[in-house]
Structure 1
Amino acid sequence: MNRFARSRCRGGGVALAATLIFPGLLLGFDTAKLGAIDDEIDASIARGEIPGAVFRLEREGEIYEKAYGNRALVPEREAMSVDTIFDAASLTKVLATAPSISLLVDRGLVDLDGKIIDLLPEFAPIPELRPLFRHKFDTSADTKSNRAAVTVRQLLTHTSGLPPSISIQSELWWGHENGVRRCLTTPLIARPGTVFRYSDVNYILLGEIVRRVSGSPLNEFAADEIFAPLGMTDTGFLPAPETVSRIAPTEAFGAYGVLRGEVHDPVSRRMQGVAGHAGLFTTAKDVASFARAFLDEENPVFRPELASRMTHPQQPAGISAKRGLGWDIDSPFSYQRGENFPLDGFGHTGWTGTSVWVDRGSKTVVVLMANRNHPTEDGRIKPLRIRVGTLAAEAVGITTKRPATAFNPVRSRTQQGRMQTAAGDPESSPIVENGIDVLAAEDFATLAGRKVGLITNHTGIDRHRRATIDLLHESPKVELRAIFAPEHGIRGKLDQANIDDETDAKTGLPIFSLYQSEDKKPTAVQLAGLDTLVFDIQDIGCRFYTYISTMGNAMEAASEHGLRFVVLDRVNPIGGDRVDGPVRLGEETFTAWHEIPVQHGMTVGELARLFDRERKLGLDLVVVPVRGWSREMRFDETGLPWVNPSPNMRNLTQAILYPGVGLLEFCALSVGRGTDTPFEIVGAPCIDDDVELAADLNREKLPGIRFVPIRFTPEASKFENEECGGVRLVLVDRDSVRPLDVGLTLAKVLLRRYGDGALRFRENFPTLLKHPPTLDAVTENRSLEEIRAGWEPRLGEFQGRRTGVLLYR
């Protein structure tokens, strides 16, 4: 019997003559590849990326299934088991909602190209409700005619023009009906059928269509019509109390405790656990049973014609992302298929760490279930999904790499982003808006009537490259009185120790330098006549990149003089999903202004909230947030224009490597300043055995990075016009690379080969590191695991400290 709350149950299971494969038995799978999968999952657990997992591989009656690690870490550790029940997250869309709609289509009760407004008459533009929603993009597309054109197919394929989600922050609300009402009235942000944008709103509306057309709530319809006939006895919404001990918990929320048996998705939680986008709980076995139905023409639920329709492209013409009815076929989200499975497959992923991929040709089902956001959101699973997908293909004999024409996880994100933008409508790339775009869209309401001093530089631009200086100066609602510039000056081109004040040629306003040898904080004289300071500068995501120090100093000045402080937030270019390195230990400096780790994983707006809280500034602090950004996104996934944040930060690869390579900068080494590739090369005149050095570094087998021997001559900066031997750092997988490990390994190997005297290491490495235990561990040539153990406790504390100030998922 199904163990989930629902009204009734009927039907039997689908029989499967299965053989469980255990390591060492050769029954059609390559056991060496199965062992490699085990190793990859174990390594991910050891790195703290996931607490545990269940992996299941099926092909024509043969099964390999294994549990790894733990399903719970807090409040007590519990071992993972193969029958663990997981919060499916967005697998809800493909296991429950899309197939329910597809069955209604197959029965003639819903027209795939029928208009939503015919099924949901409340789906109409209501301009006065738009302020309720946080996704306030350009809503010019939200017209009566456009809304009337939205179809069921467009909801299923994420091409409706609706935004990614509804707000849970703009006002308090609760209940299933309230969630549906908000989806019915949320504005369109693109014309229907023109843009692929993954949206939970689409599937909440589809769930409501199931209820209205069938007369049963989604949870009951799916249980009766799908789960029971397929024998999915551990799948459903609203888990019964007796199943909770088998459920893998997700996030822990302070006094509220750990979510266990309660859906993690906050919108679904507010909708009382039953929603079309999230809320389902299931096991690896049940997910495989569902997926297998699409390979079995005799399955009791989906006719062969319907199964084919659901698993082949159904998106509108001109959309490059290929989506079936619910199923993901070839899009930026289909990375779990790995590098080898061909393009005739289909699958889906879930936020919590769940995923499935089905390869039609080899009749293979790959299921990876994890609770990567237990006990915090700092877990990560994308690199593991890619590796497991690749190894699973190799385990069934698919060893040829897929042609590089699809959305391909082995490309860098930069290449993939360029391909997405080039494929048809340029709006197919993500729409992300920085704080200045949001401020302008809201007609500068946050600054209306304020006397403003703007802290900015050349990176302070909107997505159309219009300068924030000009936008504020030209707004009749804002009185811009002064400009403040950080390190590298207002244009970001100066690489010197002291920068003087100047006057802005276009506006005639004074530009006060906040990078002078005497003072790096706004003075009382400079702040005279102001009531607001606004900060708009692009950070790089690293503690010793000094723009955040400038912000901290300015926040202190605002606190001391009673000024409001407004942060126009910007994306973290290297992502907000990874926090790494030692937390500052010791005195405050301009390159280590606050007790945060080297790679902090936060936006400037989030850091401002942290600074205000922990330094007890008592500021009138306002953060104008980024829209459309999530923590896993890197800069090239945002669609925003790149501007070199500083003279030697010229691309995203350099930004990713900077937290590690930058640590070496004060030693007797060149990190590439004065060349075309700063932070991608490291060397010195004393290195004359670069080939052996590169080989030594490559023997460390760091993930995601390779070292190539080179010789180079800087044209400026350290070792100007001197030939240096060294290595080029080749980033081969930016999702698996750990920049801190790269920097520490460089330090260890260079010390081992050339000694402290040549590198002036012990004297200068602490300048940016700011962690004596790590300095000692490196000089003693301890392992990376031992080095990390020295900072992990305080790093864990920091992750807890930052929880209350984070603004984005």
Structure 2
Amino acid sequence: MRFSVFKNTVLFPIVIGIVLLISCGNLSKSEVRSLKPEVYETTENNPVIVGANQTELYLPLLKGKRVGVVANQTSVVFKAGSLEPEARSFSHLVDSLLALQVNVKKVFAPEHGFRGQADAGEVIKDGVDTRTNLPIVSLYGNNKKPSKEQLQDLDIVVFDIQDVGARFYTYISTLHYVMEACAEQNIPVLILDRPNPNGHYIDGPILEMEHQSFVGMHLIPIVHGMTIGEYAKMINGEKWLKNGVQCELSVIPIKNYDHKKTYSLPIKPSPNLPNDKSINLYPSLCFFEGTNVSAGRGTDSQFQIFGSPFLNAEVFPYEFTPKPNDGAKHPKHKNQLCFGKDLQQTKNLSTLNLNWLIEAYKNTADKSQFFNNFFVKLAGTQTLQQQIEQGLTEKEIKATWSEGLEKFKEIREKYLVYP
């Protein structure tokens, strides 16, 4: 097993110049929402520069090789020097690599697809990208792990997807299977790292392996506080891949980043996370996906509101009616009036909030119908549901997590690239 993190000691100014001149008009307005390009998204004077923008470090690793790319709509290279939102100054990584004469053979697409338009849970089909004519191999649905045949014409696989730092966000499960498949075929994996917008805290119950699934594969808490690159190092180092195999792994690190920096995503990481508030609330509100309560799918406030027809309207006076839209063709409680709470003006969280879930359970019409089988998969344990049903408070529940979190933090420390 070999792992390396590249330092920015080699400069290829000509290459940089080519990359910065690449056209950027490939994403739709609905996919872009930030006022500034990603390389400027930082509260400090030094800009955060994502791995994909450091072409001088990874282009030499790809030249002359047959390349596969695991990517979606967030896999972009940003052009520095423009703060105008209308400029949309970025290019998709795949387009950039092709323009630089890299031999990209195929694209692997995670949940929501290569261009990020599919519903959560929707089966993604293989196909051809109409912009590049490259074959697209789905890694969501029946084929979550690249097959030997799908990898046989590749010399290296590049992984570049923006994550949001929650165990049940399936991009890290895709990462696991890509690493595992490549390790089995002796194909190196190169990760272009990106910041974790929820990287400033760690919280939640540790997964119990009897509840392992695609929305929870590893012995980690719900909010893990790691970037994709750091997380890949942990998967490798802890030998979580099948039969303990280890992947030949390299990471292009983020410049000027630490876990406490506020980081705003300029491109939606998935259709139902439209803005910073939804991303911040997602780890807490995703629990509702395992209940009869809507987390706002089918509205314009996804993961910023919650409600259901079964909640007490006097306790939850906020009203909304889910309707089919982009990313939610069949939303929960479609066309039904829901009573709930609007969280759009709440302060940003630095911890999981269980009080909304507890409050909803206490005020639902039929408690026996509140939880569904998906809840245990999301929580990674049966205990949380039992604790809520028994009437434990948030403080009492979180006290039971403390030992597991401390052990996880000790393991996590070994794999951190950033302070």
Instruction: Identify whether the pair has TM-score above 0.5, normalized to the shorter chain.
Output: yes
Q: 2:310 aligns with which of 686, 689, 707?
A: 686
Provide closer, same or farther for how the CA distance between residues 738 and 756 of structure 1 changes in structure 2, counting only shifts above 3 A.
Answer: farther
Q: 1:605 aligns with which of 229, 241, 247?
A: 229
1:391-411: CA deviation from partner (whole Å, max 9, x where unpaired): xxxxxxxxxxxxxxxxxxxxx
- By how many angstroms is 1:776 displaced? 1.8
Aligned letter for 2:410? G
TM-score when normalising by structure 2: 0.82
1:571-596: CA deviation from partner (whole Å, max 9, x where unpaired): 1122x231111111133200002111
What secondary structure does 2:182 align onto? helix
Provide closer, same or farther for how the CA distance between residues 510 and 686 of structure 1 changes in structure 2, counting only shifts above 3 A.
Answer: same
What secondary structure does 1:580 align onto? coil
| Counterpart check, 1:632 vs 2:231 | no
Name 1:580's counterpart in structure 2.
203
- By how many angstroms is 1:469 displaced? 0.5
What secondary structure does 2:68 align onto? strand
What secondary structure does 1:606 align onto? helix
Larger radius of gyration: 1
Provide closer, same or farther for how the CA distance between residues 774 and 133 of structure 1 changes in structure 2, counting only shifts above 3 A.
Answer: closer
Identify the structure with the greater helix proportion.
1
- By how many angstroms is 1:751 displaced? 1.7
- By how many angstroms is 1:684 displaced? 0.5
Kept in 2: contact 1:686–1:758 (CA 8 A):
no
Name 2:132's counterpart in structure 1.
507
Name 1:554's counterpart in structure 2.
178
Name 1:466's counterpart in structure 2.
91
Runs of at least 5 residues in structure 1 that lack an aligned partner in the other structure: 1-131, 141-413, 694-708
- By how many angstroms is 1:473 displaced? 1.7
| Counterpart check, 1:724 vs 2:338 | yes
- By how many angstroms is 1:732 displaced? 3.7
- By how many angstroms is 1:739 displaced? 4.7
Q: 1:768 aligns with which of 378, 384, 396?
A: 378
Alignment of 1:12-51 (within 5 A): none
1:155-188: CA deviation from partner (whole Å, max 9, x where unpaired): xxxxxxxxxxxxxxxxxxxxxxxxxxxxxxxxxx
- By how many angstroms is 1:676 displaced? 0.2
What secondary structure does 2:362 align onto? helix
TM-score when normalising by structure 1: 0.44
1:191-227: CA deviation from partner (whole Å, max 9, x where unpaired): xxxxxxxxxxxxxxxxxxxxxxxxxxxxxxxxxxxxx
Provide closer, same or farther for how the CA distance between residues 428 and 600 of structure 1 changes in structure 2, counting only shifts above 3 A.
Answer: closer
- By how many angstroms is 1:136 displaced? 7.6
Q: CA separation in 2, counterparts of 1:468 and 1:682?
A: 35
- By how many angstroms is 1:687 displaced? 2.5
| Counterpart check, 1:711 vs 2:319 | yes
Provide closer, same or farther for how the CA distance between residues 450 and 749 of structure 1 changes in structure 2, counting only shifts above 3 A.
Answer: same
Name 1:788's counterpart in structure 2.
398
Kept in 2: contact 1:135–1:627 (CA 8 A):
no
Runs of at least 5 residues in structure 2 that lack an aligned partner in the other structure: 1-5, 15-32, 80-89, 325-330
Provide closer, same or farther for how the CA distance between residues 443 and 757 of structure 1 changes in structure 2, counting only shifts above 3 A.
Answer: closer
Alignment of 1:399-414 (within 5 A): none
- By how many angstroms is 1:779 displaced? 1.4
Name 2:327's counterpart in structure 1.
none
Name 2:49's counterpart in structure 1.
433
Aligned letter for 1:753? N
Q: CA separation in 1, counterparts of 2:44 and 2:285?
A: 34
Alignment of 1:256-295 (within 5 A): none
What secondary structure does 1:683 align onto? strand
1:361-408: CA deviation from partner (whole Å, max 9, x where unpaired): xxxxxxxxxxxxxxxxxxxxxxxxxxxxxxxxxxxxxxxxxxxxxxxx
Alignment of 1:145-544 (within 5 A): 430-438=46-54, 440-442=55-57, 444-464=59-79, 465-476=90-101, 478-495=102-119, 496-516=121-141, 518-544=142-168
Alignment of 1:70-149 (within 5 A): 134=8
Aligned letter for 2:186? G
- By how many angstroms is 1:474 displaced? 2.1
Q: CA separation in 1, counterparts of 2:46 and 2:293?
A: 39
Q: CA separation in 2, counterparts of 1:726 and 1:448?
A: 54
Kept in 1: contact 2:312–2:363 (CA 8 A):
no
What secondary structure does 1:529 align onto? coil
Q: CA separation in 2, counterparts of 1:524 and 1:534?
A: 17
Q: 2:409 aligns with which of 795, 799, 809?
A: 799
- By how many angstroms is 1:443 displaced? 6.3
Q: Which has the higher contact order (CA 8 A, sep 6+)?
A: 2
| Counterpart check, 1:740 vs 2:352 | yes
Aligned letter for 1:437? N
Provide closer, same or farther for how the CA distance between residues 572 and 738 of structure 1 changes in structure 2, counting only shifts above 3 A.
Answer: closer
- By how many angstroms is 1:784 displaced? 1.8
1:716-737: CA deviation from partner (whole Å, max 9, x where unpaired): 2111111111110144432xx3
Provide closer, same or farther for how the CA distance between residues 617 and 731 of structure 1 changes in structure 2, counting only shifts above 3 A.
Answer: farther
- By how many angstroms is 1:528 displaced? 1.4
Q: Alignment identity in percent?
A: 33
Q: CA separation in 2, counterparts of 1:559 and 1:750?
A: 45
Aligned letter for 1:455? V
Aligned letter for 1:442? L
Structure 1 outlier segments of 4+, above 4 Å: 135-140, 414-418, 426-430
- By how many angstroms is 1:487 displaced? 0.5
Name 1:304's counterpart in structure 2.
none
Aligned length: 372
